[in-house]
Amino acid sequence: MTALASYMINVDEWLQCCVSRESDKQPKFLRPTDSGKLGTWLQERLDNMTDSAGFRRHALIKDYPDGSPNDFYKMSETLGQGAFGVVQKAYLKDCPGIARAIKNVRKKPDDPHFNQELRWETFILRMLDHPNICRIHEVFETTDTMYLVMEFIEGRELFYEIIENLKQNKTDETRYAAIMRLVFGALQYLHDHEVIHRDVKAENVMVCDTAAKDCNPNVKLIDFGSSVITQSHRTYQCSYIYGSPQYMAPEAQKGRYSTASDMWSAGVILFVMFAGYFPASCKCTEKLPCLSEEIRGLINGLLVKDPQHRTSAKQVLQHRWLVGSASTTRSKQHSSDFRKAMQSLDEFYRCNKLQRAALTTLASQLSSQEMDAFREQFQRIDTDCNGVITKDELIEALEVDPPVGVDFLHAWVDMIFGELDSDNSGSLDFTEYTAALLTAFPGASEEVVRAAFRIMDTNDDGTISLEELERVLNMTHEELLCTMVGADLNGDGVIDFEEFQTMLSSTNCFCTSNPLAAVAA
């Protein structure tokens, strides 16, 4: 698009503008006065989130209410720094091949509202399970600091990719469409779960390094420090403005936030991708004749001043420009791998509940790159890109490529959902789907197995006791006793690492060498 250059501002000035925004001290956002009530509601919501094994999802995130990550992690270089904290790369001391990003935020002794905001961020992150949303692993808290141990993402901010393309006066529409489809998919997932991000911007979208980064990019939405839960999809009113001004919707500049506010911000990202500057009005695309009617129509639908008439995430994902990118991605999938993945679902449900819980924990410890093949399989079925697989989506995928030995497809899918969908949500989440695929695509190194064992060993004594299983599994005492008998090989009443490893190896997910070998193809 050679005409693009005539509409560009100085890229270095834009870069400086965005960097300076990060250091600006924004007015603090005040949560509702009924903080205790909201916190109780969130905790109850977390407690009710279990998978097919009765495994409580929030048990995947380990808590240290009075501890420091220095006891378990070796700190490395600084990855970023903002107004309230620092993000450092760190490695597990017992598993030095496993990297994490640790966000350190200093508490304010004289500001309990600010300290409560930090805890809300962890509450919200515990609820989320989406391939394009950054995962949380652990939370440490000392008297003066909160530490959020997050997924370490190999890649760079979308901001820098846009800058690079603008400087070279080039635009890759196919790649941008693939990236933005994933961003909108993550937003639909958030909005379906009544979460407003409130700081959607190019700097908060990480573009991951992948083997097929050009034709099938992967992204992660990050930084949920300003996120809120609406509880009923209503507008969220607050006393202070929070966010990055250039990305903020008109109503957000007056302290009124909704899911539509996130969509405006995403529209700004899309506009800047092609224009090289921030939109000055709702009719800004009229100055960009170089854009196709498809892209211009999409941007115009997002940058509508009235939030009631702004395009939603679900509507955006049905747009022709984005649907075309999804078709291109799915056409590149391998049928043999897909059939193998579908057959692994049956193997997964033949495992006992403890094995399923262990596999789910194992899946949660895989790196973003190790999960790439699983993500591609998941997104092949998740045709609407909202981060969950429905029964209809699974049937549609299987009708095109049915698994070997399945004669009654609908009955088989009913059985799968009957086992898995324990909360009757009508959908399968990403981590458990990945856990199921581990039985067919072995890819867990011994370090990843150790990291998974450490999560289930809640008191860090080197064994998993019946009491610890009771905290993470929603099962009766009698069911737990029966389940534990098969794993406790020496009969000492606890599961040690060797027994845990043996239990996982019987599911064919354990691989002592080259953990990426099985997913490289």
Residue 144 known to be catalytic: no
Query: DSSP strand E in 209-314: where?
Result: 219-221, 228-229, 236-237, 256-257
Predicted local confidence at residue 518, as pLDDT: 37
Higher pLDDT, 463 or 232: 463
Residue with tokens 């899309």: 270
Q: Cα(140)–Cα(64) distance, rounded to whole angstroms?
A: 5
Higher pLDDT, 133 or 242: 133
Q: What are the two backbone dihedrals, phi and then psi, of residue 224, each rounded to the nearest 5 degrees?
A: -100, 25
Predicted local confidence at residue 23, as pLDDT: 34
Does the pLDDT value for residue 311 go beyond 50?
yes
pLDDT in tens, 239-284: 556 668 899 999 998 888 999 999 999 999 999 999 888 987 656 6
Pick the CATH number of 336-520 from 3.20.20.70, 1.10.238.10, 3.50.50.60, 3.30.70.20: 1.10.238.10
Q: Cα(274)–Cα(284) distance, rounded to whole angstroms?
A: 12
Predicted local confidence at residue 520, as pLDDT: 35
Q: Cα(210)–Cα(213) distance, rounded to whole angstroms?
A: 5
Closest CA to 385 of 309, 319, 297, 339: 319
Which among 51, 199, 382, 488 is annotated as catalytic? 199
Average pLDDT on 287-308 reads 87
CA 188 vs CA 86, 130, 184, 421: distances in Å: 29, 11, 6, 20
Residue with tokens 């962890």: 122
pLDDT in tens, 354-400: 888 899 899 999 988 888 888 888 988 998 888 889 889 988 888 87
Average pLDDT on 113-137 reads 87
Q: Cα(72)–Cα(90) distance, rounded to whole angstroms?
A: 10
Predicted local confidence at residue 35, as pLDDT: 44
Query: Residue 144 belongs to what H/E stretch?
Result: none
Higher pLDDT, 472 or 83: 472
Does the pLDDT value for residue 203 go beyond 70?
yes
Higher pLDDT, 422 or 370: 370
pLDDT band for position 453 (50/70/90)? Answer: very high
**24-33, 119-128, 300-309 — which is least confidently predicted?**
24-33
Cα R_g (the chain), whole angstroms:
23
Higher pLDDT, 165 or 402: 165
pLDDT band for position 510 (50/70/90)? Answer: low
Predicted local confidence at residue 179, as pLDDT: 95
Q: What percent of the chain has pLDDT over 90?
A: 40
**Domain map of the chain by residue range?**
2-22+155-330, 61-151, 336-520
Question: Looking at domain 2-22+155-330, does it have CATH number 2.60.40.10?
Answer: no
Does the pLDDT value for residue 413 go beyond 70?
yes
Is the CB of residue 216 less than 8 Å from the CB of residue 210?
yes
Predicted local confidence at residue 81, as pLDDT: 82
Which tokens go with 160? 């820098």
pLDDT band for position 27 (50/70/90)? Answer: very low
Classified by CATH at the fold level, domain 61-151 comes out as Phosphorylase Kinase; domain 1 (3.30.200)
Predicted local confidence at residue 44, as pLDDT: 60
Average pLDDT on 104-119 reads 82
Please name the residues in contact with 309: beta carbons below 8 A apart, sequence gap of 6 or more: none
Q: What percent of the chain has pLDDT over 70?
A: 76
Q: What is the dihedral of CA 442, 447, 451, 453, to 10 degrees?
A: 70
Highest mean pLDDT (candidates 184-188, 444-448, 505-509): 184-188
pLDDT band for position 59 (50/70/90)? Answer: confident
Which tokens go with 420? 């898995």
Highest mean pLDDT (candidates 314-323, 331-340, 499-508): 314-323
Q: Cα(86)–Cα(78) distance, rounded to whole angstroms?
A: 7
Predicted local confidence at residue 231, as pLDDT: 63
Which tokens go with 462? 């080197």
Predicted local confidence at residue 377, as pLDDT: 85
pLDDT band for position 409 (50/70/90)? Answer: confident
Does the pLDDT value for residue 423 go beyond 90?
no
Higher pLDDT, 463 or 173: 463
Where does residue 455 rank: exposed (0-12), middle (13-18), buried (19+ CB within 10 A)?
buried
Highest mean pLDDT (candidates 152-161, 372-381, 397-406, 482-491): 152-161
Does the pLDDT value for residue 333 go beyond 90?
no
CA 246 vs CA 119, 264, 442: distances in Å: 27, 11, 45
